[in-house]
C-alpha cells in the first residue's frame, strides 16, 4: 500500500482550461503522483507539468502556489496528497 502525505490544498480552479492552483505545504515535482480528495472527489493523477507565473517549472517547494492541469473537476479547499511509492 502506498504512503500518502498531505502536501497542499486547492485554492482556485479554472474550469474552461481544467487548471487547478495548489498552495503547497511541501515539495512537489514533475513525475510525482498526487491524490486529490474533497467532497465527492477522490482521484489520483501524475504531475505532468507545473507552472508558476505562466513559466513551466520542474519542481516547487513549500509556500509556492502552482498551476497544474487536472483530469477531473476540483474545488477550492480540496486536499492534495503526494503518493509515495
Tens digit of each residue's pLDDT (9 = 90 or more) over 43-83: 999 999 999 999 999 999 999 999 999 999 999 999 999 99
Entry pTM = 0.94
Encode pLDDT of 10-39 as tens digits. 999 999 999 999 999 999 999 999 999 999
Q: Which CATH number fits domain 3-84: 2.40.30.10, 3.40.50.620, 3.40.190.10, 1.10.3720.10?
A: 2.40.30.10
Instruction: Show the beta-strand stretches assigned E in the chain.
Output: 3-14, 19-24, 28-29, 33-38, 41-46, 50-52, 55-57, 59-60, 65-69, 79-84
Amino acid at each position: 500500500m502506498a504512503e500518502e502525505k498531505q502536501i497542499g490544498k486547492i485554492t482556485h480552479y479554472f474550469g474552461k482550461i481544467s487548471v487547478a492552483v495548489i498552495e503547497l505545504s511541501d515539495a512537489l515535482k514533475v513525475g510525482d503522483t498526487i491524490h486529490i480528495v474533497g467532497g465527492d472527489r477522490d482521484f489520483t493523477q501524475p504531475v505532468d507539468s507545473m507552472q508558476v507565473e505562466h513559466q513551466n517549472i520542474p519542481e516547487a517547494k513549500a509556500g509556492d502556489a502552482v498551476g497544474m492541469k487536472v483530469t477531473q473537476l476540483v474545488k477550492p479547499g480540496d486536499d492534495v496528497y503526494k503518493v509515495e511509492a
